[in-house]
Structure 1
Amino acid sequence: MNVEPLEETDSFTYLGSTINKNGGTEEDVKARIQKARVAFIMLRKIWRAKQIKTNTKLRIFNSRVKAVLLYGSETWRSIQKTLTRIQTFINKCLRRILHLKWTDKISNNYTLENDQATTHRK
């Protein structure tokens, strides 16, 4: 029987999540954001399509992109830095879906109904 010694490593991927020797979540969060970014980019034709309602685009975003982003997140430590990184990524995606520039200002009363009413008037 040939027995080879196990190689020691600082991190490895198991079931799509990065396991770190120190138990940190930083590498896993980075990898999840990158995978979600790829999923978001693959759907760019949908985000640009004017025939698809905003509500439908948001449902696609939640089911296809956020699902990839948050897979395994129940094992992450909830620290403010992690939560901020995730929320920043989500905000960037939503701005692209809604065709908003970073400098655009929207009141706190903005709703999807307002967006759809604007779309129908054009």
Structure 2
Amino acid sequence: MQEKTRRLHVVAEYTGLKINVEKTNSMRINGKKKDVIWLNDKEIEEVDTFLFLDATMDKTGGTEADIGRRLGLARTTFVSLAKNNRKKMTKSLIRSIENALGARILKIHWPEKITNQQLYERTRSIPLPSTIKRKRWRWIGHILRREENSHVRTALTWAPEEKRQRRRPKNTWRRSVEREREEMGLDSWKEGQVVASDRRKWRSLLNGLMRPPEQGEDKEFNK
């Protein structure tokens, strides 16, 4: 290995290149000899792993170390994102998949362009978040029409007396539902119970949830 390194150094100098010993490392795979490699009277450091073209190389010659490093980087980046950013990223991913499937159904390919509004109109579909929200409140309507002593009815408005443990998410399913209830114009669960008792009014309220994309969401989609 020493002779090969020397010959590489000679050829590199002949072509006008120079090997930086400080940035050069050596690694042996299944090597029996442990001789030190020298270059310009300086010892080349021997390592067990090193990074080459953004890929981790190790003595085993496998990909486990590289995959582990990449998963660790992705996990660290995801955790470092703010909670709101993770939520927006998830919604954006769902919207992208939904638009891609709609464009495939309509056989729209690059460089053709179509807006989200046109995509929903031509496929006669509703945004997935709105569909999920409508199904959730349709189920809540069934709960509000149950008897007062029903367990599921009690669980809808019941709040535990103990404080939530540390590191638990601040936003809960109940809090998000109560926020949606206020956005629907229902100030309390009592008012929601009155509206839910009239199936025609409740159905009309749910139909209002099946909205088209908001003005800021209607963007061109490239496929």
* TM-score calculated relative to the size of structure 2: 0.25
Q: Which has the higher contact order (CA 8 A, sep 6+)?
A: 1
Question: TM-score, normalised to structure 1's length?
Answer: 0.41
